[in-house]
Amino acid sequence: MKGTTHLAIGTGIGAFASAYYPFTITHTVYYVSIAVISALVADLDGPSLLSRKLSKISKWIRELVIWLGLLSTAAVIFLYFRYNLVYPELSIMALVALLLALVAKAGVIRNILVSIVGCGMIYCGVLLEMLWLLGLGVFIAWIPWLKHRGLSHTVWAMLIWGAIAWGLERQLQVEGVAMVALAGYFSHLLADTLTPGGVKWLLPLSKKTIRLPF
Ligand SMILES: [Zn+2]
């Protein structure tokens, strides 16, 4: 399934959650970003199939988004360590931009970049004593080195993702964060199941590929 399809479904889930749960702008930012990341994160594995089909303009946009993501991440880190300021919304946006752009990229450098982002999260998780952030860091750092549509495309990965999001939900005190993350991840597996390639939902317990191609 194409990244843009996952992106669209994730945005839809985020929009639905914003309407379903008590509405505030901040919550909408949370729901949409978390749903979009959850709907895309599984494809940070293996070689991205997306990158080959990109047009020149898309590539430019991708590079731009990567640099925006890197710069805003640097800004977030700088503000924290220099002035002890924390902007959760800016941090989330930086992360979304970075991950979005990296999903659409392939190769060893991209994998290393993703792992560096993951290690940064592990570091912050330890520093701030946030277990969910530590877990998220391990998840992100590990995922690029998996086979495409392998372990990241299983119910186990989905449940671990849900557990991480549950920690985030308790931290943010925003109802529905874990549900949105689970729904986003599930939507990815489901969408891939609808492609001819299918998904091995129960790997490594069962190597059976489940597919319901359109
Ligand atoms: Zn996938």
Question: Is residue 50 pLDDT above 60, yes or no?
Answer: no
Which phi-psi region, left, alpha or beta, contains residue 130 (left: φ > 0; alpha: ψ -120 to 50)?
Answer: beta
Distance CA 152, CA 48 (A): 13
43 compared with 93, residue with greater pLDDT: 43
CB contact at 8 A, 133 and 124: yes
Distance in Å, CA 75 to ligand 1 centroid:
31
Residue with tokens 């360590």: 81
Distance in Å, CA 80 to ligand 1 centroid:
34
Distance in Å, CA 42 to ligand 1 centroid:
6
Distance in Å, CA 85 to ligand 1 centroid:
36
Helix (H) or strand (E) holding 159: helix 155-172
Distance in Å, CA 164 to ligand 1 centroid:
20
User: In this structure, which residues have their CB less than 5 angstroms from ion ligand 1?
Assistant: 42-43, 192
Distance in Å, CA 188 to ligand 1 centroid:
6
Q: Which of 193, 164, 185, 155 is nearest to 13 (CA)?
A: 185
Distance in Å, CA 22 to ligand 1 centroid:
31
Distance in Å, CA 1 to ligand 1 centroid:
6
Cis bond before residue 196 (omega within 30° of 0): no
Distance CA 77, CA 84 (A): 9
Distance in Å, CA 201 to ligand 1 centroid:
11
Question: Is residue 167 pLDDT above 90, yes or no?
Answer: yes
Distance in Å, CA 169 to ligand 1 centroid:
25
Beta bridge partners of residue 199, listed in sequence order? 210
Residue type present at position 211: R
Distance in Å, CA 149 to ligand 1 centroid:
6
Distance CA 42, CA 87 (A): 26
Task: List pLDDT tens digits, range 135-159.
Answer: 999 999 999 999 989 999 999 999 9
Distance CA 210, CA 114 (A): 28
Distance in Å, CA 194 to ligand 1 centroid:
11
- Tokens read off for 147: 């086979």
Q: 69-78, 98-107, 141-150, 162-171 — which is least confidently predicted? A: 98-107
Distance CA 164, CA 31 (A): 15
Task: List pLDDT tens digits, range 107-128.
Answer: 888 888 889 889 988 998 998 8
Distance in Å, CA 209 to ligand 1 centroid:
13
Average pLDDT over residues 46-52: 58
pLDDT on residue 102: 82
Instruction: Give one DSSP letter per residue of 123-192, joined into a string.
Output: HHHHHTT-HHHHHHHHHHHHGGGSPTTSGGGSHHHHHHHHHHHHHHHHHHT-TTHHHHHHHHHHHHHHHH
Question: Is residue 52 pLDDT above 60, yes or no?
Answer: no
Provide Rg for the chain, Cα atoms.
Answer: 17
Name the percent of the chain lying above pLDDT 70: 96
Cis bond before residue 204 (omega within 30° of 0): yes
Name the percent of the chain lying above pLDDT 90: 56
Distance in Å, CA 87 to ligand 1 centroid:
31
CB contact at 8 A, 161 and 38: yes
Phi, psi of 210 (to 5 degrees): -105, 125
